[in-house]
């Protein structure tokens, strides 16, 4: 097992660039009287442009790991560095700013805000960052949606879109501010095969064009097989980190 | 438009039912407060106006005559009565019973100087001399006891605006002219130009021609006042060159008592304000005000609780959305502001609707019953101050009641909120 992990790392280790994500001996405990250690000393690097799948059975700690990397949660011990910044000393506002600047999220259930149109949903991270909407932001959001094949759905609200379309809007939202890292939690888990393939291909295309790193949590072996690297988490430990086994 | 306003406005627009519920709450509250305040202040000012329409704000009169000890007795020997009262031989006898002498009509010493002094007191707007006493009026077989009042018409008009209160004739008391009230005129069956005979207890008498008949909306006054010139009253009441009282009008009617006290201290005379003379009225007004304040306070609390509870439910419903907003870089402070802005906007919008409700209710109520002269029986007082006050109140209530939900929203753990909603 140790050899497998080393082998998986070797492909991206020697290029010398700063990793987008660097975790060192990260643990995460839950509970007060009875403490459960969900992550048990994770070491993990994610390099720029890498498209990595995070797999593992339910309860293995995937979501907890994703939350830590996404700065939505803090580690009990160990180092979490994002884009070269050690997040240990950052307060909530600084973490939020860093998250907004560096990370895009794609969730399983799209999680678009139903009160806003597609283009507004895509603009919202930018509006939150700048403090107000602007024409430049709107143009950027519209272009992103056009790239996602949503040109004729710009003014639609999420309730008027299909599942695949909603997920495409969610991806556009995650990408709009040009983050270095996209965290996707089962982005195709809620879609049929055709829509799932479309969404995945889009993410792959963006990954190639923008060189953004992707960490995709998935249960779907066919999705994992199309990634550059597959990291498997079992019981709070990384048990394998390797190139995918292609069929 | 700033991010917080953009989100707050959109959520208000989309959450129609909650928005309408809160708006209803705020606007009903504001409407009730405006209606209640307008009605109570209207009634109060009408009551005060009626009361002060026929009396001066402060009346200054000479000090009362005090009993004097006529015999300075010393206890002789062993007088059993004196010993029983605890007095030893040789001690001064003490007055055991003080009997107040009957108060005769007396003049204020050096009244022109006193009037000039009082005029200089801050807040005093008019000062008028008065010679007042009891008398009888006879006309034919009819005799009525009246309050004879000698006045300086020009100064008196500044205390009570007589020319505007004349039912018929003119307000003029030159020479042997007199002005009486509508009640007395009816009792005596007199009209303008008729003559009446005024007779005092000391047997002095004079004949006056009715120059005008007034209506001060006060039956007691209308039935009893006979206004004559200062000189005529001085002659009839045997107060040559003197006056029995000085009447004053002050700028702020509720400052009357403190002005009266300061005049009393300055002059050594007795000064009584309308507030002291109408204690019951004042107690009535105060209890009316406090019950109104209490009702308003409860309305405010009810509205605040209403807004807070609807917003709390709103925050719970929006947990996941708040989590998502937080995930893509919205700070806690921004989330806090979104909900505070919602509170402010709801307060402001509720106020606008509430002003409409309150104003319409007040106007309808005022038009329900009218006096013969067309004025409303229940007058309402819709002042700018009331509107501004309720505006400030609505904004504060909106803001304060949004504080708890807003803090709750800002404190949400984004990971938790996204996964569990």
Q: Are A92 and B332 a contacting pair at CB < 8 A?
A: yes
Task: Provide mean pLDDT across the span A140-153.
Answer: 87
* Three-state secondary structure call for residue B350: helix
Say which of A105, A114, A128 has its CB closest to residue B330. Answer: A128
Task: Provide mean pLDDT across the span B60-74.
Answer: 70
Taking phi first (over 0 means left), then psi (-120 to 50 degrees means alpha), and beta for anything else, what does residue B246 get?
beta
Output the pTM of the full model.
0.72
Q: Which residues on A lie below 8 Å from B325 (Cβ)?
A: 113, 124, 128
Task: Provide mean pLDDT across the span B146-157.
Answer: 94
Q: What is the mean pLDDT of chain A?
A: 84
* B329 interface with A at CB cutoff 8 Å: yes
Say which of A96, A127, A174 has its CB closest to residue B326. Answer: A96
pLDDT score at A13: 43
Q: Which residues on A lie below 8 Å from B418 (Cβ)?
A: 72, 107, 111
Instruction: Give B291 or B69, the one with higher predicted confidence.
Output: B291
Q: Are A124 and B325 a contacting pair at CB < 8 A?
A: yes
pLDDT score at A2: 42
pLDDT score at B92: 61
Q: Quick one: what percent of chain B has pLDDT higher than 70?
A: 91
Q: Which residues on B lie below 8 Å from A129 (Cβ)?
A: 329
Residue B292 pLDDT level (bands cut at 50, 70, 90): confident
pLDDT score at B313: 85
Q: Are B331 and A72 a contacting pair at CB < 8 A?
A: no
Q: Which residues on B lie below 8 Å from A91 (Cβ)?
A: none
Give B39-60 pLDDT, tens digit per residue.
Answer: 888 888 888 877 887 888 999 9
Residues 2-61 of A with CB under 8 A from B: none
Give B230-243 pLDDT, tens digit per residue.
Answer: 999 999 998 888 99
Residue B77 pLDDT level (bands cut at 50, 70, 90): low
* A113 interface with B at CB cutoff 8 Å: yes
- State whether CATH 2.40.160.40 applies to domain A49-66+93-242: no
pLDDT over threshold 60, residue B8: yes
Query: Taking CA atoms, what residue in A is nearest to B324?
Result: A111
Task: Round to whole Å and give the CA distance between B94 and B73.
Answer: 8
CA–CA min distance A1, chain B (Å): 31
* B327 interface with A at CB cutoff 8 Å: yes
Query: Taking CA atoms, what residue in B is nearest to A117?
Result: B10
* B326 interface with A at CB cutoff 8 Å: yes
Q: Are A125 and B328 a contacting pair at CB < 8 A?
A: yes
Give A48-65 pLDDT, tens digit per residue.
Answer: 889 999 999 888 888 889
pLDDT over threshold 70, residue A9: no
Phi and psi angles of residue B204, each rounded to the nearest 5 degrees, phi first: -80, 145
Query: Taking CA atoms, what residue in A is nearest to B415?
Result: A72
pLDDT score at A16: 56
Instruction: Give A108 or A203, the one with higher predicted confidence.
Output: A203
Residue A7 pLDDT level (bands cut at 50, 70, 90): very low
Q: Are B13 and A115 a contacting pair at CB < 8 A?
A: yes
Give B381-410 pLDDT, tens digit per residue.
Answer: 888 888 999 899 889 988 888 898 889 888
Domain ranges (residues) in chain A: 49-66+93-242
Contact B24, B307 (CB under 8 A): no
* A107 interface with B at CB cutoff 8 Å: yes
Give B176-207 pLDDT, tens digit per residue.
Answer: 999 999 999 999 999 999 999 999 988 899 99
Of A11-25, A31-45, B47-61, B82-96, which gets the smallest average pLDDT?
B82-96
Residues B8-46 as b or e (16 or more Cβ within 10 Å = b): bbbbbeebeebbebbbebbbbbbbbbbbbbbbbbbbbeb
Residue B153 pLDDT level (bands cut at 50, 70, 90): very high
Task: Provide mean pLDDT across the span A109-119.
Answer: 86
pLDDT score at B86: 63
Give A206-230 pLDDT, tens digit per residue.
Answer: 888 888 899 999 888 888 888 989 9
Q: Quick one: what percent of chain B has pLDDT higher than 90?
A: 36
Residue A3 pLDDT level (bands cut at 50, 70, 90): very low
Q: Are A101 and B329 a contacting pair at CB < 8 A?
A: yes
pLDDT over threshold 60, residue B139: yes
Give B349-380 pLDDT, tens digit per residue.
Answer: 999 999 999 999 988 888 887 777 777 777 78
Say which of A63, A113, A124 has its CB closest to residue B419. Answer: A63
Residue B36 pLDDT level (bands cut at 50, 70, 90): confident
Q: Which residues on A lie below 8 Å from B329 (Cβ)?
A: 96-97, 99-101, 125, 128-129
pLDDT over threshold 50, residue A118: yes
Task: Round to whole Å and give the CA distance between A238 and B3.
Answer: 40
Residue B93 pLDDT level (bands cut at 50, 70, 90): low
* B414 interface with A at CB cutoff 8 Å: yes
CA–CA min distance A208, chain B (Å): 23
Contact B54, B221 (CB under 8 A): yes
pLDDT over threshold 90, residue B413: no
Residues 8-37 of B with CB under 8 A from A: 10-11, 13-15
Contacts by A227-231, CB closer than 8 A, 24 or more apart: A227/A51, A227/A52, A227/A53, A228/A50, A228/A51, A228/A52, A229/A8, A229/A11, A229/A12, A229/A50, A229/A51, A229/A52, A229/A53, A230/A52, A230/A53, A230/A55, A231/A8, A231/A44, A231/A52, A231/A53, A231/A54, A231/A55
Say which of B326, B331, B415 has its CB closest to residue A67. Answer: B415
């Amino acid at each position: 097992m140790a050899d497998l992990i080393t082998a998986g790392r070797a492909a991206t280790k020697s290029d010398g660039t700063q990793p987008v994500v660097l975790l060192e001996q990260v643990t995460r405990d839950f509970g007060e009287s009875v403490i459960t250690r969900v992550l048990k000393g994770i070491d993990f690097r994610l390099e720029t442009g890498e498209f990595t799948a995070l797999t593992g059975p339910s309860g293995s700690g995937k979501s907890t790991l994703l939350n830590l990397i996404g700065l939505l949660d803090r580690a009990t011990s160990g180092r979490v560095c994002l884009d070269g910044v050690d997040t240990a000393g950052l307060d909530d506002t600084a973490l939020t700013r860093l998250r907004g600047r560096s990370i895009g999220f794609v969730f399983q259930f799209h999680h678009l805000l139903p009160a806003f149109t597609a283009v507004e949903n895509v603009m919202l991270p930018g509006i939150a960052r700048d403090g107000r909407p602007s024409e430049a932001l709107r143009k950027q959001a519209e272009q992103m949606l056009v790239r996602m094949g949503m040109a004729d759905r710009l003014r639609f609200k999420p309730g008027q879109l299909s599942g695949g379309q909603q997920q495409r809007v969610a991806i556009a939202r995650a990408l709009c501010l040009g983050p270095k890292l996209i965290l996707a939690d089962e982005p195709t888990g809620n879609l049929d095969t055709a829509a799932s393939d479309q969404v995945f291909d889009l993410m792959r295309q963006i990954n190639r064009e923008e060189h953004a790193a992707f960490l995709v949590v998935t249960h779907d072996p066919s999705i994992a097989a199309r990634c550059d690297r597959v990291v498997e988490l079992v019981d709070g430990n990384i048990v394998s980190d390797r190139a995918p086994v292609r069929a | 438009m700033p991010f917080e306003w953009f989100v707050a406005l959109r959520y208000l627009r989309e959450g129609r039912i909650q928005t309408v519920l809160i708006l209803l709450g705020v606007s009903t509250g504001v409407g009730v407060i405006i209606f209640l305040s307008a009605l109570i202040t209207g009634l109060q000012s009408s009551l005060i106006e009626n009361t002060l329409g026929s009396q001066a704000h402060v009346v200054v009169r000479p000090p009362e005559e005090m009993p004097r000890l006529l015999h300075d007795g010393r206890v002789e020997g062993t007088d059993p009565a004196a010993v029983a009262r605890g007095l030893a031989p040789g001690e001064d006898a003490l007055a055991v019973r003080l009997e107040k002498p009957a108060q005769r009509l007396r003049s204020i010493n050096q009244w022109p100087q006193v009037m000039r002094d009082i005029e200089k007191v801050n807040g005093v707007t008019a000062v008028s001399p008065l010679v007042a006493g009891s008398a009888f009026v006879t006309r034919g077989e009819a005799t009525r006891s009246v309050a004879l009042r000698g006045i300086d018409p020009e100064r008196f008009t500044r205390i009570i605006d007589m020319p505007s209160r004349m039912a018929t004739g003119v307000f003029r008391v030159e020479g042997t002219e007199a002005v009486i009230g509508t009640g007395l005129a009816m009792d005596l069956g007199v009209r303008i130009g008729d003559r009446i005979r005024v007779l005092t207890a000391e047997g002095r008498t004079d004949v006056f021609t009715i120059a005008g008949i007034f209506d001060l909306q006060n039956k007691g006054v209308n039935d009893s006042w006979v206004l004559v010139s200062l000189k005529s009253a001085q002659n009839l009441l045997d107060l040559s060159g003197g006056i029995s009282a000085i009447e004053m009008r002050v700028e702020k009617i509720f400052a009357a008592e403190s002005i009266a006290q300061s005049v009393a201290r300055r002059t050594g005379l007795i000064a009584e304000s309308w507030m002291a003379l109408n204690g019951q009225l004042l107690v009535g007004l105060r209890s009316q005000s406090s019950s109104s304040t209490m009702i308003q306070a409860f309305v405010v609390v009810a509205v605040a609780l209403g807004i807070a509870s609807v917003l709390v439910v709103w925050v719970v419903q929006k947990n996941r959305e708040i989590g998502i907003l937080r995930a893509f870089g919205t700070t806690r402070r921004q989330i806090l502001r979104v909900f505070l802005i919602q509170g402010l906007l709801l307060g402001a919008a509720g106020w606008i609707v509430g002003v409409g409700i309150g104003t319409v209710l007040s106007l309808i109520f005022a038009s329900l019953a009218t006096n013969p002269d067309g004025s409303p029986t229940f007058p309402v007082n819709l002042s700018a101050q009331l509107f501004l006050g309720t505006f400030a109140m609505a904004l504060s209530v909106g803001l304060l009641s949004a504080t708890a939900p807003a803090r709750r929203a800002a404190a949400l753990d984004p990971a938790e909120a996204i996964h569990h909603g």
